[in-house]
Structures are given as C-alpha cells and as structure tokens.
Amino acid sequence: MNYFDLHCDALYKCVCENIGFDSDTLTVNSNQLNLFDNYYQCFAVWTPPQISDKKAFLEKSVFRFKSSFFPFLSDTFKPILTIEGADFLNDDITLLELLRDIGVFSVSLTWNEENAFAGGAHSLAPLKQKGKDLIKLLNQNGIVLDLSHLNTNSFYGAVEYADNIIASHSFICELCPNNRNLTLEQMRIIKEKNGLVGLCFYPAFLGSENIFERIYQAIIFCGENDLLDIVSIGSDFDGAEMPFVLNDIPDLFSFLLLKGIDSKTLEAVFFNNAFRYCKSLK
C-alpha cells in the first residue's frame, strides 16, 4: 500500500533526545520504510514556548532533518519538512525566505497559545495584522498555510488571506467536540479553497481509544457530507501519546476494507488525496 502522512513529530524527538532516525524509540523510524510501496512523511519542526532562542532551535532542527532524514530520500520514501508554530519569525520575518529555499512545505502560525500572529486552540485571540502579513508572504513564496492549532477566530481570519491551506492533524467536532477539532462548516470552507484535512490518531481528539473504529466513523461522516476528496492522514505520531504505531497502518487499512469502505476511497484517504494536492502546487 501507499501512505502519505501530513504530520509527525519524530524530528522534534530526534533533536530534543539527540537520537537518530534509526532509533526504535521513535514511532516513525527508518527501520519501517519497507512497510509501504510509496511513503511520503511530513516531519514538523516545533519550537516549544519554553525555548528562548527559537531561531537557533529552528536551525538545529533543519540541520538534523538534512543530516538524519533526507539521506533516506529515495524513489519510494519522501521526507517533507514542515513548520509547526511561527514564533521564531516574530523578530525576523525574512527568515521565511530561508524556509522557502530549503523547501518547507507548510507553516502554521502558532501552536496552542496566542502569539504575535494569531490565537491558538487554547486562546480566543483573532488573527493579527502580523499574521496577515505572514500569510501574504507564504502566498508569495508558495508555502502552504497549516490551519491546525488555530482557534475558531483565527481560523476564519486566516482562510480569507491564504491561497493554499491544509489542516495537517485535526479531527471532526461533530464526532468529538474539542477545540483542536474542525467543525463541518470549517471542513466545507477548506474544501471550497481546495485544501486538505489530515485525520489525526490522538485519542483525546477522537474521543476514544478505539482508533480503528473512530477513523472508520470519520470516513463515513466525510462521505455523507461530500468531503472525501479533501480527507487524508495526519497521524501526530511521536507528538501525542496513543496506543497506535506506524506498523498498525496496514492493519487499519485492512480493517476499513472489511468494514465495507471500497479500496479506491481508502487509497485516496491514505495517499492519493495528499499526493494530488502536492502535485497541484507545482
């Protein structure tokens, strides 16, 4: 099978714990690359709020991505760099040009907190002028805006300005009310803008430890609401505690087949939708 994952935090763990991509302590590691015929994995750079020198942490993370992850690039494995939280751009927004030059796919404005750009899921702050300016620069540099972690106020502000959008790792409010999940209305807006939604596996967002069943329910819900063409996977592996690992993905695919979801739909959710989206940006 083919697999495209819009979000994991393996890179963050490698930097903080000084481990390599071959470490078995990672949920996503180099020893699993033969699980899939084609495997595209987004690796997020996240700078936590307590890091004082965020620019230095970014540079360290990018170096680790290049030295530990990118050497595994092949015809079947594609590591993709993303940015979770733009705090390091607060004092020097021109750093965005550096991100463009190293091929960053997407940038989110903030994590759960409020910052100079927008309000995260744990705040009520709206999109700020500096956030609008950053989104315009993302547009100019061909970088996708990641809407995951934004609160509702900032979400609606951001989608007005962004050319290309995804929500890399979220779930569905109608199935599990949570300020990190998307409402049906938000998902419809993402569809209107030809965006993409990555379903995460974090039980707190799913409302259950039964991840297989909840992903099944999410796919059925999206099918009933004509949203299957924007649905993909954004696991949050190595960033959220869950009773689920990368090796379980083929079993999840088989489970969904047995539940009656056709293979074409599953191939779209697990790979083709995200692959098509990325190709559309070229």
Tens-digit pLDDT profile for residues 107-154: 999 999 999 999 999 999 999 999 999 999 999 999 999 999 999 999
pLDDT at 51: 87
pLDDT at 81: 97
Q: Residue 89 — pLDDT band, cuts 50, 70, 90?
A: confident
Six-digit token string for 140: 């100019």
> At 41, phi and psi to the nearest 5?
-130, 125
- pTM, full prediction: 0.97
pLDDT tens for 157-170 read 999 999 999 999 99
Amino acid (one-letter) located at 88: F
How far apart are alpha carbons 214 and 180 in whole angstroms? 16
pLDDT at 99: 86
pLDDT at 57: 92
Amino acid (one-letter) located at 163: D
| Whether residue 76 has pLDDT greater than 80 | yes
How far apart are alpha carbons 138 and 160 in whole angstroms? 13
- Please, are residues 118 and 128 in contact by the beta-carbon 8 Å criterion? yes
Q: Which domains does the chain have, with CATH numbers?
A: 2-280 (3.20.20.140)
Six-digit token string for 169: 């790792």
pLDDT at 256: 98
pLDDT tens for 178-196 read 999 999 999 999 999 999 9
Where would I find the beta strands (DSSP E) of 134-258? 144-146, 165-170, 196-199, 231-233
